[in-house]
Structure 1
């Protein structure tokens, strides 16, 4: 048997450990990403036993971030990006300035050099793409106003980090020079800024002029060949190829290049299929991202400098959040939106690590400060799901957009969970027969569409949460229809509903025989298997009509 190469060992070890500790975390009712982080600590160099290759793990994690940003770009049009520029651009700039200033203040209190305090504060100011987008996807918020603002905010931070990584050596020199040498350094700094911005502008222009036409055309041509394998390969080649080219030709980050590749591919009618083809890879590499973070963590820093770690955590979780909340509210957005953005940004991740690594290599950041940064990142990532859970409960109780008539007064109604492609059709059928319907939905655009129709009661939130289901008055409901596409999310809803009312008729949708068994085991009364229903309909359509000649 051949010895495993570092690449194979890292992939296999990372995924196996992530599965084991993720399952344990889920069993203990903790966020599964906590298990992924622990898996990374176990596989890292600071704990006994097997040690994975940290460099390879980081590169695999980078692939996960690229694919994730590509997937976001597929669902995010240029119109969406421009629609939130008025709040995302100044909001991200002010929030990053506040976090950087707080980091520099902490550095000043610790007698750090000015350059070190600046780099440390800048690293605290930028949120993790993976953590934020996973939280948004779990709550189906990416297509909502809150999701668009958060993604726009991320893009601005990404662009700022592109500049920061290029300018860091010059910035360090400027902050560390004597007064007499400042003018020359400032001139070089401005020249570097202009050159970097120019390359970013050229890249964006190429994507908008050439990519907007070439990428959908290529996808359409490959689809016409009829080969699913080639189509999947084309999607990955476009996503990774543009990300790589953007980084090496224009000094744009991999993430930003992948986002624009996805956004241009989103102009194609095949964008939904492209998203489905890349989903398994995105999920697998996202797991490796969290494992790679855990590998960087040195638990000893919590014993050596606990108060510095605590101060850094407070800047990330409290300082950034308060700044973001105040900014969003200042733009006249509701408290729900402000709290969502604030919670989304209350963590740091991949760009912080890249910046810290460059800072150490340039002599601008000490290894102690880097270890504090990594510890604070781990803590903030672990705390973030708990903050989102608290936010979900707050929204369920205090949503200012909720209808004035409380749903508890409804009786004999049908509860429909999910107003997507299938949910809309189910709703129309229910409305056609005059059935009173209550819809549970978390997507703001879908809620606005329902409000315009003014023919349904609405509960806003995640139906898997007991308080949200309680608002739907299941005790007086005639039936529950679970129309969400994700079988795991659907299973959570079925289980929660069955616990609230054992005799309630529950109808759910499934995409496979395994999903049917899964939902049936959790208490669904009827599970509609799409392929089975389609096969039955095709069989019925192929039967000779009464009165038609037999062949």
Structure 2
């Protein structure tokens, strides 16, 4: 059949999502699991109703950008520096351990040295989307748990950018050091420029025209997307640019109004994001990687909570908080999927290794979401006792 138009694709995604979400709620299942399974069913490896997955994935990325923008709006700059200082050594030690474990399992299943390096790289990170999406807003705003999680996820985002830059150079042994140095030099310059622009231009516009809600909404989106594009142009990521845009605006008295206004737009794109994860998964290669992906996923689901619990307890955090953060970060990341995509395009890994990373991501997304939804406070809990918005 001919490729559906964008309108028809949206019809299939959102009407389908409404149906599966209803079934998920009646059967007490997490909604994002339903979106991923819908993507598998309708995508090119399922019923082939939607085949242009690259377009859908590109559109869905806007949801990640908005998520990081709203995350920045909810955090004061002083709190960010404080929590990054606390989280740095935990993030570095845990990432090295997860990468080593990923390499070892890849080696056991006969992948090449280069593929094992990239598989290990993909295991280092936890999902920003799942971590923040399943964290209650009250915890994100006011609690130490939210601060620590944000610090760890941001540090991982920085590490992920370094990994992607290495992969984009086309050879793990030939890193473009001048480009890498320029990118890291760009980070503080972008942050300072954003802060100055907000202080002398944006806050003045907001104060002058705050009666026009449509204008404030438009200004916020323009600022978020402008900073995202500038950061990507300078070698950072759109996600980091969006976070900088949000945190420089966090001191504005209107920041919470902007955050509330943009949440429905964020959720719109995040539904597409989880759909695209399912749609991109190559079901034909699943039998070839089923065992290795299962072993890798079990390693992630067990090792990550235990590691974070141990490291956080060493830092004198409460046992309950340490397990809470460990299970919330007990999956691999959307950055892992991006690493697999970049690596296979650069011919650094084969289709089987790429499918292993994707399968591990989906399994850990599903299982870790179940663990959090049924055991910890979150906005989409099926239990009234655990549901916190």
TM-score (norm 2): 0.92
CA contact (8 A) 2:286 2:355 kept: no
Cα deviation 1:113-149 (Å, max 9, x = unaligned): 2221111111111111111111113674443100011
CA contact (8 A) 1:297 1:374 kept: yes
Residues 1:232 and 2:231 are matched in the alignment:
no
CA contact (8 A) 1:124 1:315 kept: no
CA distance 1:489–1:80, change in 2 (3 Å): closer
Displacement, 1:300? 3.8
2:384 is aligned to 464
Distance 2:169 2:52 in 1: 32
Distance 1:173 1:36 in 2: 35
Residues 1:320 and 2:304 are matched in the alignment:
yes
Q: Which has the higher contact order (CA 8 A, sep 6+)?
A: 2
1:54 is aligned to 53
Local SS of the residue matching 1:48: coil
Query: Which of 325, 337, 354 is 1:370 aligned to?
Result: 354
CA distance 1:141–1:234, change in 2 (3 Å): closer
Summarize the alignment of residues 516-535 of structure 1 with structure 2, pairs less than 5 Å apart: none
Distance 1:22 1:58 in 2: 20
Summarize the alignment of residues 278-297 of structure 1 with structure 2, pairs less than 5 Å apart: 278-297=262-281
RMSD, matched Cα: 2.5
Displacement, 1:324? 1.5
1:147 is aligned to 146
Summarize the alignment of residues 131-530 of structure 1 with structure 2, pairs less than 5 Å apart: 131-137=130-136, 140-170=139-169, 172-174=171-173, 185=174, 189-223=176-210, 226-248=211-233, 250-389=234-373, 391-392=375-376, 464-465=384-385
Displacement, 1:171? 7.9
CA contact (8 A) 1:73 1:262 kept: yes
CA contact (8 A) 1:125 1:316 kept: no
Would you tell me which structure has more strand in proportion to its own residues?
Answer: 1
Displacement, 1:335? 1.0
CA distance 1:138–1:271, change in 2 (3 Å): closer
Displacement, 1:357? 0.7
CA distance 1:333–1:171, change in 2 (3 Å): farther
Displacement, 1:201? 2.8
Distance 1:111 1:172 in 2: 21
Distance 2:120 2:332 in 1: 11
Structure 1: tracts of 5 or more residues without a match: 175-184, 394-441, 443-460, 469-487, 491-551
CA distance 1:144–1:213, change in 2 (3 Å): farther
TM-score (norm 1): 0.66
Cα deviation 1:451-501 (Å, max 9, x = unaligned): xxxxxxxxxx99922xx8xxxxxxxxxxxxxxxxxxx969xxxxxxxxxxx
CA distance 1:201–1:489, change in 2 (3 Å): closer
Summarize the alignment of residues 33-48 of structure 1 with structure 2, pairs less than 5 Å apart: 33-48=32-47
After alignment, is 207-216 or 70-79 more displaced?
Answer: 207-216
Residues 1:7 and 2:6 are matched in the alignment:
yes
Would you tell me which structure has more helix in proportion to its own residues?
Answer: 2
2:100 is aligned to 101
CA distance 1:47–1:255, change in 2 (3 Å): same
2:29 is aligned to 30
Cα deviation 1:252-272 (Å, max 9, x = unaligned): 111111111111111111111
Displacement, 1:53? 2.0
